[in-house]
Chains A and B, each alone.
Chain A
Amino acid sequence: MDNDIFQGYKGAALEILKKYQVRVWGQTRVETTRGTFTGTVLPRSENDDDKHIVVKIATGYNIGIDVFTIQTMKETGYKKAVYKIPEKEFPTTPGLPKVKLFGTGGTIASRLDYRTGAVIPAFSPGELYGAVPELADICNLETEKVFAVFSENMGPKQYIALAKAIGKEIEKGVDGIVIGHGTDTLHHTGAALTFMCQNLPVPVVLVGSQRSSDRPSSDAALNLMHAMKAAGQSDIAEVMVCMFGPTSDKYGLLHKGTRVRKMHSSYRSTFRTIGDTPLAMISREEITPIKEEYNQRRNDKDVKILPYFSDKVTMLYYYPGMNADVLDALVDKGYKGVIIVGTGLGHVNKELYPAIERAHAKGVHLFMTLQTIWGYVQMFVYDTGRDMMAKGIIPAGNMLPEVAWVKLSWILGQTEDPEEVKRMMLTPVNDEITHREPYNGYLVYQGGVPEVEDFVKKVYK
């Protein structure tokens, strides 16, 4: 009961509220050594200190009052605020594609959480329609909250639950699937679903937002519109990530789930296809294909759901001077697969060799990926590379490190036979290894260079 009345308050602040019998959402007049303050007591975030009481004053601002300055306070009224996105029934329009939206948490739709002071997800077709009514012009929407976790808490269990849910929806005859997802691990999930849901007849689009939807300049609304359009109307039946192209509200990009990576901690245009071009550009008006080849939409329901995942795979990010005991420790702890993220073309120092040999001898599956992110592992160029291959490390082409981790986990969930593991790892499901890198697959421009500045000035960033 205390928790409800004094939401988030503890220690000295809680004592004061109890002493003067002022509740959260109570209107109060506080006499302090710094003068009088009046307003409504708000809940306090659990992580904040116990020395202040938060009050919303008449002008709408919040202030904190130092409890040690309080001489007396009095509750003069009570009015609890209900923060609720207005719900409107999502209209059904004959002729529009049927899209299913899976909610997993994240910032695509969110509201304030006093417990942490951060934003928490809010989600229902009605709420979404209330916030982004334009969605009703794109598709007929159904939603289902599969679970609610923050992006960083997504993991194998969630991948499997999602894969199964996708299978069920396809069985029911949906035209496309959108998954709302926090952005931090969007690309891990993109890879996992690519491996777990093969031979897709319809698009599966992962979408998030870099600015939560409680902000007027949020990218959530536009990302959602783009994702719904991609799911309902595009011909690309693959697992894709749909996020902003530039930071401007201009167009989105559809990235392959296996080639995409979050490249900036906070930019809107953070997701980039690595080592290739994105699949397509998407705006509210049109979908403009970039890649000519892709898996096309079909009318059947012949999806293959392969919901496997081993939790015995880890990644080892190499640094100069790394001691062999690091790898030994992982092996001792029972890890069956290690994705090494090496330097340059795929290297680690000689001190690790004995540990690599020991790991290999114990049947641990070792694959080499790159810290450079872009480019191919090439272990023939230098002797060290050849040495390592001889000791059992298998180069993973231009597979992204995170994707390699997901894929090896998925494979070890099915087999531990070394030859089969190697065959599966090196046989692409959907371009996680590509056979060629186009010249425009690596474009990281440098600011300050005149021709780049010229380009940036002319094109909306």
Chain B
Amino acid sequence: MKLNPKKNLEESRKKAGYIPRKKATQKDYDRIGFMSGLEVHQQLLTKEKLFCHCPAGIFNKSEDYDAQLVRHMRPTLSELGEYDGTALMEFRTRKEIIYRIKNRTACTYEVDDTPPFPMNREALEIALEISLLSKLNVVGEVHITRKQYLDGSIPTGFQRTAILGVEGELELPHKKIRLIQLSIEEDSCREISDIGHTRIYKTDRLGMPLIETVTYPDCANPDELRETCDYIRFLNRSTGKVRTGMGAGRQDVNVSCRGGSRVEIKGVAHTKWIPELSHNEAFRQWSLLLLKDELLKRINHVSDWKITHQPIKKSILKDVDLPEHAEVLVAVNLPGFQGALSWFTQPGKMFADEITDRLKVIACIEKPNMLHSEELEPVVSEKQWAEIRNKLSSGENDAQIIITGTEDDIQTALETIEERCKMALEGIPEETRKSLPDGTTIFERVLPGADRMYPDTDSAPIPLDDAYIESLSHNLPEDMIERYRKLKAWNIPEDTYAYIFSKNHFPIIERIINELGIDSVFAGTFFGHTLKFAEGHYKVSPDFTYKMIYGMFGYLKKKEIHPLIAVNMLPELLEHPKMDFDSILSGLKFKKMKAEAIVDKVPVLLEKFNQSKTGSEPGDRTNWVMGQLRNMALGNMDLTVLSKKIG
């Protein structure tokens, strides 16, 4: 009975009930027990980094560096005397970590040659304000903790981080989301490359102040997850004291399905990617659980399950194109695993990908690092497989892998394969995964746990007394949900909210409405539609600030000019913010006129239209007359009033 991998893939996909996200309903997510939460990271807008006096927010290109240094990381015990799983995994990779340093953006602190300076108070204060806004229980004393990261992303091997608040709650328009905690921490290095046993980082971003808001897994579907994420980001931005732009906000998405495990999708830069990623991850776990059931029908003693392996000669794989780094070939037999390798996991992926991804990360063998017996487009012929199976004494229910790697990495590769396959018999491995643009993910690391925490013996605790917390709470912006309700009450259309909140335009809009008496719908859509469009279509001068828009409306009010003309003034203001408003208006050929004088022109124009008969549709007449008067009327009167007068 020969397995057809394509057919097997398709059948297993059906078994899992995988459907594209667009077609999925809450019922589908309830069926697989979709559960998800977030860790939202947000850089704070400070002049300096968190534990040293290097400037924050200055970045350099990968090739632009002044010096390099090399480190290796070793696992150490946590405070409770345990080793962390991730740490042990990273140690097995035997990575040489290279840091590229630029004088301007990194000092001896970043490279762990100088102990930390006291925590940046500006950063701490912003983070505390956000903690208060997030309704968290603020701690009495900040304890700086070392959180181990052996991937090298921080040269010390740990991140200095501290909890500021626990157990908070966010009120979303339709749901409450509970928060586990908020921490302040130093940002990590940016990775330049990771090839074989060498990983290269740059240290510009390293040490910048960052907060992490962690939610409970309260989100029941991918869209809710995205909404929650947006909400947290908007809340952070409502302070006006956080960084924006590429990489300033990043989130880790925790996903599981019923019976599955917590898997963390790391570093998702855009909230719009969240739904697809979380959808696919929940189904990946669901499908892997079905694979487990399938395998357990055939494999009785999970703890005794073992791979066997044999080195094979390249001559066996005559005519097969092998990767350049394939110094040695080792054939591996996976007892009882036939049909597992081509089992569906994610769109375009199958269980074999889980193995190849781990071989790359843990054994450090670049892809392609293996061939297997269930390739959709086989490169090894059936005859060659027969010879290999013979060598391995394989049974008919077994699957086979050929590792194509270097001698030094084979031992780790074999351990990695056996480990991943055994995990398939037990459930879903807890891991962190990297997101790909197509909405799928690949293995990144073993998921770290609480065992990687250690008190920072270099830093003293920072007390936060009641008087200080009290003083901070007086300077907070209002709650996001209040702002949401106000926008609703002002009848501003909902399609503008995301833009208004993401750019933190609410305070200006509120002032324009309350202080200048501008119509709220107009004010809201002026930002949410007109400004948003203009920013995408005109070259915005670096001198432009959003406060100038308030200035513009203030000017129009003072001059008693109808605010609608602001729509035409805006492009000019964006491009030439230093130009005064009088000049902008004369550039638009605006002339001050009385509304009556304009209305007086209507009868003549109506007459003219009737004579020339340029249209027959209802409304053509009004449109034509409006067109004639629009520029004249703009700024001098309400256009809807004019329209009514035309009739």
Which residues of chain B are within 8 angstroms of A295 by Cβ–Cβ distance? Answer: none
- A66 at interface (Cβ–Cβ under 8 A)? yes
B: interface residue count bin:
35 or more
Report Cα–Cα, A214/B76, bound state, in Å. Answer: 6
Q: Separation in Å of the B288 CB from the closest CB of chain A?
A: 26
A65 touches B139 (CB 8 A): yes
Name the segment of A154-162, A166-174, A243-251, A300-308 touching the other chain.
Answer: A243-251
Q: Does A218 contact B (CB under 8 A)?
A: yes
Chain B, residues 76-120, CB within 8 Å of chain A (1/0): the string is 111111000001000000000000010100001001111100000
Contact call A60/B112, Cβ cutoff below 8 A: no
With an 8 A cutoff between CB atoms, is B162 at the interface? Answer: yes
Taking CB atoms and an 8 Å cut-off, the chain B residues in 303-349 that contact chain A are none
Q: Is B449 an interface residue (CB 8 A)?
A: yes
B67 at interface by CB-CB < 8 Å: yes
Please determine whether B108 and A61 come into contact, CB atoms closer than 8 angstroms. Answer: no
B457–A119 CB distance below 8 A: yes
**With A117-B455, A216-B148 as given contacts, are A61 and B181 in contact (CB-CB < 8 Å)?**
yes
Cβ contacts B180-194/A at 8 Å (1 or 0 each):
110100000000000
Q: Is the beta-carbon distance between B466 and A69 smaller than 8 angstroms?
A: yes
Interface residues on A, range: 35 or more
- Whether B142 lies near A48 (C-beta < 8 A) is no
- Say yes or no for A83: interface residue by CB 8 A criterion: yes
Using an 8 Å CB-CB cutoff, how does the interface string of B183-223 with A read, 1 for contact, 0 for none?
10000000000000000000000000000001000000000
Known A66-B466, A83-B77; contact A460-B68, beta-carbon cutoff 8 A: yes
Q: Mark A105-129, 1 if CB is under 8 A from B, else 0.
A: 0000001100001110000000000
B506 at the A/B interface (Cβ < 8 Å)?
no
The yes or no answer to B12 lying at the interface (CB within 8 A) is no
The CA-CA distance from A247 to B141 in the complex, in Å, is: 34
Within 8 Å CB of B424, what residues of A? none
Q: Is A34 an interface residue when CB atoms closer than 8 A count as contact? A: yes
Q: Mark A48-66, 1 if CB is under 8 A from B, else 0.
A: 1101101011111111111
Q: How far is the CA of A453 from the CA of B101 in the complex (A)?
A: 12
Contact B140 A64 (CB under 8 A): yes
Cβ contact within 8 Å between A51 and B463: yes
The interface residues of chain B lying within 8 Å CB-to-CB of A381 are none
Q: Is A213 touching B180 in the complex (CB atoms < 8 A)?
A: no
Known: A216-B150, A267-B113. A81 touches B457 (CB 8 A): no
Cβ B70 vs Cβ A216 within 8 A = no
Contact (Cβ within 8 A) A63 B75: no
CB-nearest residue of chain B relative to A447? B103
User: Hey, which chain A residues are within 8 Å of B449, CB to CB?
Assistant: 60
Is B291 an interface position by the 8 A CB rule? Answer: no
Contact of A457 among B66, B70, B71, B180 (CB under 8 A): B66
The answer on a CB contact under 8 Å between A52 and B140 is yes
For residue B66, which residues in chain A have a CB less than 8 angstroms away from its CB?
453, 456-457
Cβ-neighbour of B113 out of A85, A118, A266 (below 8 A): A266
A84 nearest in chain B by CB position: B81
A69 to B155 Cα, complex, angstroms: 38
- Contact partner of B141 among A32, A59, A65, A222, CB < 8 A? A65
Closest to A212 in B: B457
Interface contact A217-B457, CB-CB below 8 Å:
no
Known: A248-B70, A456-B66. A266 touches B79 (CB 8 A): no
Which of B70, B115, B453 is close to A460, meaning CB atoms less than 8 Å apart? B70
CB pair A66 B465 closer than 8 Å: yes
- Give CA–CA (A33, B140) in the complex, Å: 10
A35 in the interface, Cβ–Cβ < 8 Å? Answer: yes
> In whole angstroms, how far apart are the Cα atoms of A266 and B113 in the complex?
6
A34 lies within 8 A of B79 (CB): no
Closest B residue to A39 using CB positions: B166
Is the pair A218, B74 in contact by a Cβ cutoff of 8 Å?
A: yes
B54 within 8 A of A: no
When A48-B461, A216-B157, A461-B68 are in contact, do A61 and B140 touch as well, CB less than 8 Å? no
13 residue pairs bridging A and B, Cβ less than 8 Å apart? A35-B167, A57-B181, A59-B214, A63-B139, A65-B139, A83-B80, A211-B156, A214-B76, A215-B157, A216-B156, A249-B70, A267-B108, A460-B70
The chain A residues found within 8 Å of chain B, CB to CB, are 32-37, 48-49, 51-52, 54, 56-69, 81-85, 111-112, 117-119, 131, 210-218, 221-222, 246-250, 264, 266-268, 447, 453, 456-457, 460-461
Given contacts A60-B452, A248-B70, A456-B67, 17 further A-B contacts (CB under 8 A): A34-B469, A36-B137, A37-B139, A51-B463, A61-B162, A62-B143, A64-B140, A65-B141, A66-B466, A81-B80, A84-B81, A112-B454, A117-B457, A131-B76, A216-B75, A267-B108, A457-B68
- B: which residues have CB within 8 A of A? 65-81, 87, 101, 103, 108, 111-115, 136-143, 145-150, 155-158, 161-163, 166-167, 180-181, 183, 214, 449-455, 457, 460-461, 463-466, 469
Q: What 9 A-B pairs are tightest by C-beta distance, nearest first?
A: A64-B141, A216-B157, A35-B137, A66-B140, A60-B450, A60-B453, A248-B70, A217-B157, A62-B143
